[in-house]
A and B are shown apart, each in its own frame.
Chain A
Amino acid sequence: MSKTDLHKEMFDLQNIGRPYTTPDGYFDQLEKSVFNQIHTPIQPISKIISYSQWLKYAAIVTVGIFTTVMLIRFATNPDEPKIADSTQTPIEKHDTTNNQEFNTNIQDIAKESKNHNGETILPLEENNQDDKESVNYQKDITQPDKTSIAESDNNDNPSKNNHEIIQRKEIPILNNPQYPNIQNHNFNSIAQTPTIEKITNPISTARTSKPDNTKLISIPKDTCATSPLTLTAIESEDLWENYSFKWSTGDTTPYTTLQISGVYSVSVCNPSTKAVIESAVIKFNLVPLPEPDLGENEMFCSHETIYLDAKTYNSEYSYLWSMSHKNSPKIVLNNLTEGYHIIHLTVGACGQEVHSSKTVYINKCEISIPNVITPNGDGYNDRFVISGIEKYPGSQLFILNRDGQVLYQTLNYQNDWSAQNLPDGTYFYLLKLNDKNKTEKGGSITVHRQ
């Protein structure tokens, strides 16, 4: 056996691992490093959204459930007598659609409220009487081991038609017994794992004889992507050999890759007669992946205006800011409270999302003014240094003597007054701070050289 054959066989057996190694104890160290970097206390959701807001969401959720339940009951079983208080119906009894809508509802509400910086704008105060009840619902939703309704992967599964409900505990995905462990499979068969399931289902196999109402070609009409998109004309690999394919890209394989925006077409033909069996057209829009960059973490004074820029622009992008409801790449923040704020940005493009965040620290930037200076050249207190004034450029300073004569004045004080050519003694200062409120501070300053 030659060396290349050996390689090929090893590859087929799928036992070539990755060559990468890590330093000793790396994964423990990793955990520590992450913890060290999250030095600011983690803001739990409960802090971000206050209790009263939770109640509001809960109220909204309750109304959502109520409406959905009523609507669906009405739509699906118009003959069945309505239940007066449907909130008592256990969730497990709803059918799949119901439950899905219910979940989406919660998400929508959560999204809505986050858009507005934690302030819900929906006028739902009148539902406050439902609060207690709905809080319980909220708990039910977030319970980790809630039973959920398993969605059947296969539409042909008759159990779904009968509204039969399969309950299962949530299982960590990798341990999901529903899928066989693929580790030991032959390399060539792996790709077919999901397909094998379909073949063994007798109803699915019936699909090979094309039913009138089912389209053979399974590509979308209009799609958008952030990277070249590979399309497969017919999903099921088992059918590929029965047809020949012709893409407007020139490919004659069952699949093609779209590299640039445009309108493309595919025809599925009879391999012997070349007659077109079915054809489809797709409009493809290639949008670059957003690369939001909010820059380094920064410190600001509470009077400063914060300008944030996603630095990634495209008319197809959507911008979701945690601190603003503006769907725009640039926002302006004012009047943030003192302390740390984590600003999150999610830029969406064609269903793909890229996150970026930035921490800003808001400082009160208080200034402190000394009451004595000793301009004797020893390097200590030689100048009248107002610490913090650099945060307020354009602040005016006046120095007066006991008689009220102005001895020194400047429109932009630079911490440089040292009582030059003035005798020791007490002077007065007036500081007009260039802040939002144009604060004025006055006091006395003693000059003492010895």
Chain B
Amino acid sequence: MQEITDSEIILMAKDEQKANEALRLLMRKYKVRIYNHIRGILISHEDSDDVTQDVFIKVWQNISTFRGDSSLFTWIYRIATNESLNHIRKNRKKKLFASENQEQYLLNLLSNETYINSEEIQMKLQKAIIKLPDQQRLIFNMRYFDHIKFKEMAEILELTEGGVKSNYHIAEKKIKEFLKEH
């Protein structure tokens, strides 16, 4: 069976009777990808679960206002990215002692996570990724694990393609250095 196209989903969403089915198809198509993208940013399964649900609800509530000047795919990724970064920001604010920086916060999550397999090299790579600044972390994750094209990343992050590429190069270099040292 061929995968349903984004425009078919948007069209169905406009039809009252097919709206629920459209949501189901939309989720079937994107849930794993979006969850993995969010998990890569948030690390904790529990947080990622919350944010993934929020993202789909948001996508659904806004699908009628979706302007179609980017593809549905990049739009959903953009919402997922923004929601995840907001989530980290909010969560860190909630902490009693906000002295912990983002890197420590994420490393803590990584070491306390239940749903994880502790293969050494995978963990090491994650630790290296956590050390990157947000933008490089996003770009590296999307490229290395999810194989998203530079052009699409540029659209998702609203950067230039050149900007994405150079960020990726910097991230790659830093990670290679980290792996060499540790």
Contact = CB atoms under 8 A, between A and B. Distances in A.
A8 B177 CA distance: 9
Given A10-B121, A19-B126, A144-B8, A107 B163 contact: no
Interface residues of A, number: 82
Contacts of A18: 36, 39-40, 122, 126, 145
A103 to B, nearest CB: 8
B61 interface: yes
Contacts of A229: 159, 163
Interface in A130-157: 142-146, 153
Interface stretch (A28-36, A205-213, A415-423): A28-36
Interface of B is mostly: helix
Given A227-B135, A344-B65, A30 B126 contact: no
Interface in A313-331: 322
A187 B169 CA distance: 11
B45 A23 contact: yes
A190 B61 contact: no
B163 A16 contact: no
A4 B180 contact: yes
B4 to A, nearest CB: 8
Contacts of B144: 14
A194 B151 contact: yes
A173 interface: yes
A357 B67 contact: no
A218 B160 CA distance: 10
Given A4-B179, A18-B145, 17 more contacts: A7-B179, A17-B145, A19-B123, A21-B115, A30-B31, A30-B53, A34-B23, A34-B60, A46-B16, A103-B69, A114-B65, A142-B10, A146-B7, A170-B5, A227-B135, A228-B133, A230-B166
Interface of B: 3, 5-8, 10-11, 13-16, 19-20, 23-24, 27-29, 31-32, 35-36, 39-40, 43, 45, 49, 52-53, 56-58, 60-62, 64-65, 67-69, 71, 73, 78-79, 82, 86, 89, 113, 115-119, 121-126, 133-135, 143-145, 147, 149-152, 158-163, 165-170, 172, 175-176, 179-182
